[in-house]
């Protein structure tokens, strides 16, 4: 802590101390001062010569704005990057992450032909119809972001069985190898409690929520994708433009 930083907190000024502290911590974050670790409550009390109440108020404001993450008994840390997705049209998580400048790749756990009567029915197929099943963990900056489970009709998607999907968009691969471009669909979003196995794959504890996205997508009037995606709630947010009169999105199960 430098003398200059300490002078940023002025008692008797028009701005509360906690707000001054919040602003100064934001400036220090922008300068990249907390790359290794963010200071704990008592360290901030000592560095800024303020009360614990003031520190907690500043940290609460930083949490609410998504700048830091913290939980009871844990030292605050700089929040991981968060992806926001506008609702109202068919979107690609791959393209969304790429557009924000973050690196991404996938760990493909399953890519195989299989039968699933329930899913086949959802796709408007006979229950015995063969499907292509893809399961992969999506990584952003080498940290888990989402767990994807996707089913596609085998008569459409069989060419994907030999494609490396660890570093490419599924929709891009469908267009390139299967001449299929998705044109619309429906998606339901709900909050769920992940299983222990899912938490391990996503790298989250019991204190982190997850969003469950279930999508049916079509191409040229035919259903060609049934997808279930589990996304970390601390790294992903859905945004809806309430001013759009044409918005047609279902966000409840």
Asked if residue 213 lies in contact with residue 229, where contact means CB atoms within 8 angstroms, the answer is: yes
Among 185, 198, 153, 148, smallest CA distance to 169 is for 148
Report whether pLDDT(129) > 60: yes
When pLDDT is averaged across residues 13-19 and rounded to a whole number, the result is 84
Residue 249 clears pLDDT 70, i.e. is over it? no
Expressed in percent and rounded to 5, the helix, strand and coil fractions of the chain are 30, 30, 40
Distance of alpha carbon 228 from alpha carbon 59, whole angstroms = 35
Cα–Cα distance measured from residue 159 to residue 157, given in angstroms and rounded to the nearest whole number: 6
Q: Is the pLDDT of residue 152 over 70?
A: yes
SS3 164: coil
DSSP state of 166: S
Residue 193 main-chain phi, psi, to 5 deg: -100, 110
pLDDT surpassing 80 at residue 108: yes
Task: Give the SS3 label for residue 239.
Answer: strand
Give 163-198 pLDDT, tens digit per residue: 999 988 899 999 999 999 998 889 898 999 999 999
| 139 and 145 Cβ atoms separated by less than 8 Å | yes
* The model's pTM: 0.66
Mean pLDDT for 216-238 is 89
- Indicate the pLDDT class of residue 70, thresholds 50, 70 and 90: low
Phi-psi region for residue 111, left (φ > 0), alpha (ψ -120 to 50) or beta? Answer: beta
Instruction: Using the predicted structure, report yes or no on whether residue 251 has a pLDDT greater than 50.
Output: no
Q: What is the pLDDT of residue 121?
A: 97
Q: What average pLDDT does range 145-158 have in this prediction?
A: 96
Contact call for residues 210 and 144 (beta carbons, < 8 A) = no
Q: Could you please report the per-residue DSSP string of 123-163?
A: TTS-TT-EEEEEEEEEEETTEEEEEEEEEEEHHHHGGGGGS
Q: Distance between terminal CA atoms of the chain?
A: 50
């Amino acid at each position: 802590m430098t003398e200059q930083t300490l002078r940023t907190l002025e008692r008797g000024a028009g701005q509360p101390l906690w707000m001054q502290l919040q602003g100064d911590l934001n400036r220090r974050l922008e300068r990249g001062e907390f790359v290794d670790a963010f200071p704990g409550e008592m360290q901030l009390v000592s560095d800024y010569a303020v009360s614990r109440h003031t520190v907690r108020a500043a940290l609460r404001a930083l949490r609410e704005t998504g700048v830091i993450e913290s939980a009871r008994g844990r030292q605050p840390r700089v929040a991981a990057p968060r992806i926001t997705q506008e609702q109202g049209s068919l979107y690609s998580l791959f393209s969304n992450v790429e557009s924000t400048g973050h690196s991404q790749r996938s760990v493909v756990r399953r890519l195989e032909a299989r039968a699933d009567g329930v899913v086949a029915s959802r796709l408007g197929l006979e229950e015995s119809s063969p499907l292509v099943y893809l399961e992969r963990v999506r990584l952003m900056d080498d940290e888990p972001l989402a767990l994807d489970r996707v089913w596609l009709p085998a008569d459409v998607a069989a060419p994907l069985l030999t494609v490396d999907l660890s570093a490419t968009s599924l929709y891009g691969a469908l267009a390139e190898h299967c001449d299929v471009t998705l044109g619309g669909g429906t998606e339901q979003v709900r909050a769920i409690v992940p299983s222990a196995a899912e938490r391990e794959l996503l790298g989250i504890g019991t204190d982190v929520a997850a969003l469950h996205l279930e999508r049916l997508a079509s191409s040229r009037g035919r259903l060609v994708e049934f997808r279930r995606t589990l996304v970390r709630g601390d790294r992903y947010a859905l945004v809806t433009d309430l001013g759009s009169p044409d918005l047609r999105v279902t966000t409840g199960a």
